[in-house]
Amino acid sequence: QCQICIRDRRQAQPIQIVENYLELRYTENTAIAFSMLHSVEPGLRKWIIYTLSSIAIVFLLVIIWKIRRQSFLGMVSLMFILSGAIGNISERIVRGYVIDFIHLHYYDKFSWPVFNVADILITCGAILLGLLMLKKSSESDIQNMETI
């Protein structure tokens, strides 16, 4: 039965959520963001993705552990990124690909690559982390100006 469900999803037409702007579109992504590594041989691509994802997850865990008492928002931003990374790699391990299904577009004039919830977490975490870094940088600049 499960194979029938998967076959049906692959053949399903996109579902319009907000006409000409947002639709649900079933896509199996064997590459990474924006189809990077798509031209690499599938067996090698899989191990590159597993290796890079594992390194990123370990790195994030170490950083989260180090800042756990210093910056709540910093930890939240890294947890968003970590959650998205774990979500994508676990789906890749189980299925061999990630299911992307959120498609933003503007009529036929603009189309953003199809993505999933894990991608949203990674993006939101990265944006929050960037904003925190900018804030910290500007606070540091202000302190340096006051000492002059």
Query: Which residues are tagged catalytic?
Result: 100, 119
Cα-only R_g, the chain: 19
* Distance separating alpha carbons of residues 88 and 99, to the nearest angstrom: 9
